[in-house]
A and B are shown apart, each in its own frame.
Chain A
Amino acid sequence: MAVWLVLASMASNAQDASVVQQFDEGTASLENGQFREALESFEMVEATGWVSSELYYNTGLAYHRMDQLGQAIRYLERAQELAPDDERIQHSLSIARGRQKDSFSVLPLPFWKSLHMSAARALPPGIAFWLGLICWIVFFGFLKAHLLFDRHSAWHNRGRTVAGIVGVVLLVHAFGTSAFSPFDVRAVIIEGEISLREQADPDAREVVQLHEGLIVTREGVASGWVFVEIPNGTQGWIPESALAGI
């Protein structure tokens, strides 16, 4: 049953036929140059709760055609999260990034964060949970045999130890990664030009000028302002209306 649950969680889900139809209509509008109509269709699909890398890509393409670089990058980044190896998405995202005006150096990540991110990419929390749960159940099966049926063979002991350790590690990884994600909460600037300020105040001193399409890390929120960190590590406040979450 546990194996079935794992496979079920990994498999793509069946979706409503109307979702596919709406996606096709949006794509047709996009190819006919009716970008606004295309976006309306794609937004309706997303509102149903069903998403795909293709949906995000086409949405980003429509925004790109409407000269909204920030929104285009936002949806292309989402598409790449779902399909990181897709050449079409990689190509278009590189084009969009190339049109972004800001060029900041990027701070290197701490080793532990890189390690955590690699582990999270290799073994997403959902898969880790189901695998960990299987090991956890096996461990208790061995434990029950040991406690109630006096099974003390070396094979039982080894199996119990391995299943217990692996199960605990996988479950800790699953819940830990879910609760404390190594991936930053990213957002993209959707206004042409915006000032990063020292304080959450329009009259505060400007730290640096930022431009549409720059991806920043959200660190906190306060009364309509967002505390962000730009790629070179500089931190400051920008209005919430100038940001869109990825």
Chain B
Amino acid sequence: MTRQFFTKWFGCVFLLALVGAGVTNAQQVDVRSSVNATTIGTEEALTYTITVDGSDGSNIQIPPAPASDGLALLQTVPGTQQSVSIVNGQMSRSFGFNWTYRPTRQGKATIAATIVKVGDREYHTQPIEVTVVPQDQRPARQRQTTPFDRIFRSPLDAPQTAEPPTPDDSDLFIRAIPSARSAWQNEQVIVEYRLYFREGIQLRQSRLTDSWDAEGFWREELDVETRPIPRITVENGLRYNTIVLKRAAVFPTRAGEMSVDPLKIESEAMLPFGSRDPMQSLFSLGTRFSPVQLASPKVTIESKPLPDGAPSSFNGAVGSYAMTVTPDRTSLDVGESLQLTVTITGQGNLATLDAPRFDIPAAFEMYDPYVSSLLDRSGSRLGGSKTFRYVLIPRTNGTFDIPPVQFSWFDPGTGRYRTTSANPIPVTVTGTATAPDVITATTNGMPVDDFAPAFKSVGSWYRLKTVSLHDRLWTWFLVLLPVLVLGGAIVWQKRSDRYQNDVRWARGRRAHPLSRKHLKQAMETLRSGDTRGYFEELERAVLGFVGNRMNVAEKGLTRPQLDDLLADRQVSEPTRNRLRHFLETCDRGRFAPASFSPENKEEAFDLASSIIPDIDEEVGE
């Protein structure tokens, strides 16, 4: 033991002397504790190691051996180790202190925490628990070696068996580490695949066995180092080298629970074989590599739907963004082009980012934008920029405002929608309103994607009709007019026929008009001074009316016959008396006209006028 200790210590000092001058930067100190196995047999020894990284070694105090339960310390002075690595001109050193324990009983055993002083600071290690099992039940395992073992192996050490051991799941595994287990729809989630392998294990001919997929996600690969430098980490008290195999940004395309496939690789692993024979180590490399197949666990991510209340300009972007809008000019002629560049930068799914929607003045033609993306895959998250270059061509002159371009996205950090808006861009267009030479015309001469030019003259003018056809009275009148005309003609025809065929009816219809005619003639005769003629006309009016009304020849009737006839037609006695009196008055007027005063003549006229309606009424039909 003493010989081994001094041999290793000398080697460390020698190596330190070679590269010590290269140490220039003070690094952050990292103290870790580990064991060579967490399950050992009752006859096996356990190596406990404390590793200090980031110190130049001058101020490390040798730590005391940690207390233990169920284990007996075999040495009080720790074995020491030191390693130096230079990466990209940067040198780092690592110091190790190890103790050997032997189990005192079966079951759980514990190595307590201890304190490591580096300069003025104290670092506390974590307690480590190991399981002691019967010797015949101990897990098959390679002998844990360190680089120091290989460098400073003694030729006096006994040779070991040549059978290559098989690594178990704790020696070599892949871990998938998502940045989040729950995410919004289309939110960026980083899934990192790290390979863990125990110190001393070498891998070669590694390759993916199955294509990696993530159904339901939009996937973007992020850069990882092509020649990674393993980083040392402690998991469950064991020291591991880790390298990043793959880093991917995935974006859930829908809501719900979705899975990312495991990452599977095949490789050949060379375990620390433990042979102390340098010649065997040199010539039996091929036989010491064992094929291994590794797969990461499946990653499940819960995707939440985006909340309601999205602004109108939202088109699905999730992440953190900023937008700039830049026109290449603001004054141009009709038909020239204006380039409007809209650039969106930030972190998120830029590949599926749609062009911001915005309206342009109708006087402009706008073509589909030219889209270019610049993705930054080097960081821990996917970011970059996406540029939309719109070409706008004014077709008329004037001063226009290009309305503000708006872009909205969902910010998963705050859980709210955000909107950014550019300022309106005033554009002045000069020149002639039409530029036929630059307008692409259709086959019938119409401009493509624009209105046809204005009409310069009117072919036909129309009066606005405010009243419908059926609401106009004259239309109904015109329709009814033929009916009325025909009806009138028929009535007239029938009346004419009756006049010809029904003498009684015809005389009755003529009675009144004739009596009025004779009365009128009587008055004219009276005015001319012919009293005799006056009374003749009065008598003709009354007797003519009676004859027509009763359809008899009045001239051949005697006065008694007339009276009897009237009596037969139910004419009353007073009326007949008045008629007799009237006729006598007329006789006297014809034969002794000088005896009548003007008043007597008027009385006779009034009597005639009153007798006619009375007889008409009493005769009836």
Footprint of B on A, CB under 8 Å? Answer: 12-15, 19-20, 23-24, 27, 30-33, 35, 46, 49-55, 57-58, 61, 64-67, 69, 72, 82, 87-89, 91-92, 95-96, 125-126, 129, 133, 136-137, 139-140, 143-144, 147-148, 171, 174-175, 178-179, 193
B493 and A87: CB pair below 8 A?
no
B455 and A88: CB pair below 8 A?
yes
Given the contacts A12-B460, A87-B446, A179-B470, A54 and B486 also touching, CB distance less than 8 Å: no
Partner of B452, one of A46, A67, A92: A92
Measured CB to CB, the nearest residue on chain B to A32 is: B433
Partner of A52, one of B451, B460, B482: B460
Partner of B458, one of A52, A137, A139, A171: A52
Chain B interface, >50% SS class: loop
A33 and B486: CB pair below 8 A?
no
- Within the complex, the shortest CB–CB distance from B522 to chain A, in Å, comes to 41
B396 and A65: CB pair below 8 A?
yes
A58 and B455: CB pair below 8 A?
yes
B469 and A137: CB pair below 8 A?
no
Q: Does B454 touch A at the CB level, under 8 Å?
A: yes
Looking at B453, B461, B493, which has the most chain A CB atoms within 10 Å of its CB?
Answer: B461
- Within the complex, the shortest CB–CB distance from A94 to chain B, in Å, comes to 9
User: Chain A interface: which of B206-214, B359-367, B416-424?
Assistant: B359-367
Measured CB to CB, the nearest residue on chain B to A12 is: B460
Since A54-B457, A144-B485 are in contact, a sample of 17 more A-B pairs with Cβ atoms closer than 8 Å, ordered by chain A residue number, is: A14-B461, A19-B461, A31-B454, A51-B463, A52-B458, A53-B460, A58-B455, A65-B396, A67-B359, A88-B452, A88-B453, A88-B455, A89-B452, A92-B452, A140-B483, A179-B470, A193-B312
B479 partner residues in chain A, CB cutoff 8 A: 133, 136, 171
Q: Does B442 touch A at the CB level, under 8 Å?
A: yes
Partner of B464, one of A31, A49, A91: A49
For the complex, give the distance between the alpha carbons of A192 and B485 in Å.
60
Interface residues on B, range: 35 or more
Q: Does B414 touch A at the CB level, under 8 Å?
A: no
Given the contacts A140-B482, A193-B312, A129 and B462 also touching, CB distance less than 8 Å: no
Footprint of A on B, CB under 8 Å? Answer: 312, 359, 361-363, 396-398, 433-434, 442, 444, 446, 449-464, 468-471, 475, 478-479, 482-483, 485-486, 489-490, 493
Q: Could you jot down 12 A-B contacts, CB within 8 Å? A: A12-B462, A54-B455, A57-B454, A58-B455, A61-B454, A91-B442, A91-B444, A133-B479, A136-B479, A143-B486, A144-B486, A174-B469
For the complex, give the distance between the alpha carbons of A95 and B442 in Å.
13
Looking at A64, A65, A147, which has the most chain B CB atoms within 10 Å of its CB?
Answer: A65
A133 and B433: CB pair below 8 A?
no
B463 and A13: CB pair below 8 A?
yes
A92 and B361: CB pair below 8 A?
no
Looking at B361, B475, B490, which has the most chain A CB atoms within 10 Å of its CB?
Answer: B475
B462 partner residues in chain A, CB cutoff 8 A: 12-13, 50-52, 82
A148 and B482: CB pair below 8 A?
no
- Within the complex, the shortest CB–CB distance from A201 to chain B, in Å, comes to 21
Measured CB to CB, the nearest residue on chain B to A62 is: B454
Partner of A95, one of B434, B451, B457, B469: B451
B397 partner residues in chain A, CB cutoff 8 A: 32-33
Given the contacts A13-B461, A67-B359, A126 and B469 also touching, CB distance less than 8 Å: yes
Measured CB to CB, the nearest residue on chain B to A38 is: B454
For the complex, give the distance between the alpha carbons of A147 and B478 in Å.
21
A33 partner residues in chain B, CB cutoff 8 A: 363, 396-398, 433
- Within the complex, the shortest CB–CB distance from A61 to chain B, in Å, comes to 5
- Within the complex, the shortest CB–CB distance from B191 to chain A, in Å, comes to 38
A23 partner residues in chain B, CB cutoff 8 A: 458
- Within the complex, the shortest CB–CB distance from B358 to chain A, in Å, comes to 12
B461 and A52: CB pair below 8 A?
yes
A175 and B458: CB pair below 8 A?
no
Measured CB to CB, the nearest residue on chain A to B403 is: A67
Partner of A92, one of B396, B433, B451: B451
Partner of B468, one of A31, A147, A178: A178
Partner of A175, one of B396, B442, B460, B470: B470
For the complex, give the distance between the alpha carbons of A234 and B452 in Å.
33
Measured CB to CB, the nearest residue on chain A to B478 is: A133
